[in-house]
């Protein structure tokens, strides 16, 4: 064992000496990212991090590929093949390198950002580490895998360009092909099944290549890893698999969601829209106590509204507006193509809607009185009620969950917004994904269509409370809902 470690450390030191320019560039970019954090940078420079983020990703990929190529695993002219290198030491050395020069700096920069945002680090250390691991996976795994089957950076660039191109084309067309069968966006978001499968197969491929140097077979495995991302497209069971594994006590099939056709549609006349919009009651059973549902996916594309004569109308389910009110769950639907004639408005419509939901359990609920000024939100961060038209929060949300803010007892019906969540899927492409602190400012409650922000009024209600719900995703489900006999009348 000590031989393995000793050789690994030796190779690690050699790699550090060889790649110090690339390491310096990455660290400089991370330092820039931290220095120009939008919360603290001047307004003029607050956009720098958005441009830094993709460069950080490129620098990470460049560094990862570089370290693997130091002892390239393809070809038969490499100098190390006829030297007493242990394969396990070699792999360990490369892992040590990426952990030291990528994972740790990402973790540290996250910690620094937390400190600068005034969010306590130690209580959130676990979340920060989890997040850093998830993000580092995206920063390290793809280039590491690609470098294992290539011999130089030229080839990596070719592979990456081809991959991005193919992915863009394939995902676009696959979504349109599968769109009717699956909620749009399932591959991009909440794709736990796909991502886990991809990561697992990629790791197996990497270990295989380090041990056996069979480039063709490894390339095949990696291709399977990429295709694995599309797994949820093929089966409900696959989509729900991680839910069953990670939460064995939770059976997602028990959750039944359907439109309650016995409850009349509540007509909703929004001043900014000229289309008929209505609230449809949902019947939801089987939801665990304290759990909530949040839809995801492109609601506009998945909602199919058809007239009795077979004409398809353009419709949109307002995303995220499943509201749990005192009298149940409601979903909002707007139909844009509805003609104006009374007879057409009166004819029954059939609505089919395929939607994905995350099921979230509530870990904690904390309440704070509505007052002007700032207040700490437990150990998650702090918020500030400014001029009575906004609420500004700096919060470290849970690693795989959300923090929602609601307002109750303020004379308006309660509402809830998702204040902060982490993008742990495809996280590397934007600055939000590299920051563990969510910065949200709310100027009006969403879904209220221009009604005044109630905080000003809430300030005069002594019982008014901000309600913070920390929720964690415990499952992902997909349901197709059908409403026959939908009538929209003004």
Partner 1 sequence: MKQALHIFLKDVRRLWMEIAGVMLAIAYFAVLDILYTVLRPFGTDTLIIEFIVGASVWFLIARAVHEESLTGENEFWPTRPYERGSLLGAKIMMAVLAVAVPLFVADCVILSVQSLPVTENLGGLVLRQLMTATWLILPPFAIASVTRSIAEDVMVWLVALTVAIVAYFPQSHFRAADGKYALAGALALMVIAASRQYWRRGTTLMSRALIAAAVLLQALPLPESTALAIEGSRAPEISNITVTPQAPLIRTLGWNSRRGRCTAVPLSMGRARSNWRLEVRSQNSTFESADGKTWNTGWLPPDQGPTRYGWTDAVIYSCISPDGLSVLGAGTPLTLHVSVALEIFAENAPISVKATLAPFEVPGVGRCQFSTDPRSQNYMLACKAPIWFPPPGTIEISTAQWAYPPISSPRYAWTPMNLLPGLSPVYKWTTISSGLAASIREAIEHGGELGFRTETRIGLIRREVVVK
Site for partner 1 in 37-56 (CB under 8 A): 42-45, 47-48, 51-52, 55
- Cβ proximity to partner 1: between 30 and 231 the closer is 30
Residue 449: which region, alpha, beta or left (left: phi > 0; alpha: psi -120 to 50)?
A: left
Q: CA–CA separation, 440 vs 417, rounded Å?
A: 11
Choice from 3, 115, 123, 161 touching partner 1 (CB under 8 A): 161
Q: Which residues pair with 408 in a beta bridge?
A: 465
User: Does 188 help bind partner 1 (rule: CB under 8 A)?
Assistant: no
User: Does 118 help bind partner 1 (rule: CB under 8 A)?
Assistant: no
Q: Which two tokens stand for residue 7?
A: 């050789």
Query: Which residue stretch of 197-205, 270-278, 357-365, 399-407 sits at the interface with partner 1 (rule: CB under 8 A)?
Result: 270-278
- Cβ proximity to partner 1: between 154 and 490 the closer is 154
| DSSP per position, 271-340 | TT--S-EEEEEEEEESPPTT-EEEEES-HHHHEEEEETTS-EE-EEEPTT--EEETTEEEEEEEESS--S
Choice from 5, 9, 25, 246 touching partner 1 (CB under 8 A): 25
- Cβ proximity to partner 1: between 47 and 118 the closer is 47
Site for partner 1 in 55-94 (CB under 8 A): 55, 58-59, 62, 66
Q: Shortest approach of partner 1 to residue 54 CB, angstroms?
A: 9
Choice from 251, 261, 268, 384 touching partner 1 (CB under 8 A): 384
Coil, helix or strand for 240?
Answer: helix
Contact 404, 418 (CB under 8 A): yes
Q: How many residues bind partner 1 (CB under 8 A)?
A: 44
User: Does 163 help bind partner 1 (rule: CB under 8 A)?
Assistant: no
Coil, helix or strand for 89?
Answer: helix
Q: Which two tokens stand for residue 117?
A: 């945002």
- Cβ proximity to partner 1: between 250 and 390 the closer is 390
Q: Which two tokens stand for residue 213?
A: 């140097």
User: Does 162 help bind partner 1 (rule: CB under 8 A)?
Assistant: yes
Q: Shortest approach of partner 1 to residue 157 CB, angstroms?
A: 6
Query: Which residue stretch of 27-35, 198-206, 375-383, 474-482 sits at the interface with partner 1 (rule: CB under 8 A)?
Result: 27-35
402, containing H or E segment? strand 401-408
Instruction: Please calculate the CA angle 90-91-94 and round it to the nearest 5 degrees.
Output: 90
How are the residues of the chain apportioned to helix, strand and coil, as percentages rounded to the nearest 5?
45, 25, 30
Rg (CA), the chain: 26
Q: Which two tokens stand for residue 476?
A: 């992902």
Task: Give me the residues that bind partner 1 (CB under 8 A), please.
Answer: 21-22, 25, 28-29, 32, 42-45, 47-48, 51-52, 55, 58-59, 62, 66, 152-154, 157-158, 161-162, 164-165, 168-169, 272-275, 314, 316, 334, 336-337, 384, 386-387, 390, 392
């Amino acid at each position: 064992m000590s031989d393995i470690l000793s050789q690994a450390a030796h190779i690690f030191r050699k790699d550090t000496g060889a790649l110090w320019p690339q390491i310096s560039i990455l660290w400089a970019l991370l330092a820039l990212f931290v220095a120009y954090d939008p919360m603290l940078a001047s307004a003029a420079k607050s956009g720098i991090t958005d441009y830094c983020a993709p460069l950080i990703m490129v620098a990470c990929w460049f560094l990862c590929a570089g370290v693997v190529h130091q002892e390239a695993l393809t070809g038969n002219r490499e100098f190390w093949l006829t030297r007493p290198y242990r394969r396990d030491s070699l792999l360990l050395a490369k892992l040590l390198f990426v952990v030291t020069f990528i994972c740790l700096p990402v973790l540290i920069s996250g910690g620094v950002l937390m400190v600068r945002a005034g969010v306590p680090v130690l209580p959130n250390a676990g979340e920060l580490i989890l997040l850093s691991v998830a993000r580092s996976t995206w920063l390290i795994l793809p280039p590491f895998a690609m470098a294992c089957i290539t011999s130089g950076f030229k080839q990596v660039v070719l592979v990456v360009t081809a991959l991005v191109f193919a992915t863009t084309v394939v995902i676009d067309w696959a979504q349109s092909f599968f769109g009717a069968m699956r909620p749009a966006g399932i591959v991009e978001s909440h794709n736990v099944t796909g991502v886990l499968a991809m990561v697992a197969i990629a790791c197996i491929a990497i270990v295989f290549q380090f041990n056996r140097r069979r480039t063709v077979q490894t390339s095949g495995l990696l291709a399977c890893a990429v295709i694995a991302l599309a797994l949820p497209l093929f089966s409900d069971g696959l989509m729900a698999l991680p839910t069953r594994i990670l939460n064995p006590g939770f059976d997602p099939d028990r959750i039944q969601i359907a439109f309650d056709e016995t409850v009349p549609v509540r007509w909703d006349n929004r001043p900014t829209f000229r289309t008929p919009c209505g609230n449809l009651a949902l019947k939801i059973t089987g939801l665990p106590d304290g759990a909530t549902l949040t839809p995801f996916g492109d609601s506009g594309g998945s909602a199919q509204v058809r007239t009795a004569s077979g004409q398809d109308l353009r419709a949109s389910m307002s995303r995220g507006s499943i509201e749990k009110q005192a009298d149940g769950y409601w979903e909002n639907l707007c139909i844009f193509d509805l003609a104006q004639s009374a007879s057409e408005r009166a004819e029954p419509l059939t609505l089919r809607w395929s939607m994905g939901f995350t099921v979230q359990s509530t870990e904690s609920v904390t309440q704070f009185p509505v007052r002007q000024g700032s207040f700490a939100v437990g150990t998650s961060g702090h918020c500030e009620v400014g001029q009575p038209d906004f609420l500004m929060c700096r919060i470290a949300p849970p690693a795989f969950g959300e923090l929602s803010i609601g307002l109750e007892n303020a004379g308006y019906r309660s509402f809830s917004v998702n204040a902060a969540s982490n993008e742990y899927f495809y996280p590397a492409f934007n600055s939000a994904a590299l920051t563990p602190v969510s910065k949200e400012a709310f100027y009006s409650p969403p879904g209220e269509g221009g009604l005044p922000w109630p905080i000003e009024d809430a300030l005069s209600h002594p019982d008014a409370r901000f309600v913070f719900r920390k929720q964690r995703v415990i499952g992902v489900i997909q349901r197709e809902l059908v409403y026959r006999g939908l009538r929209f009348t003004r």
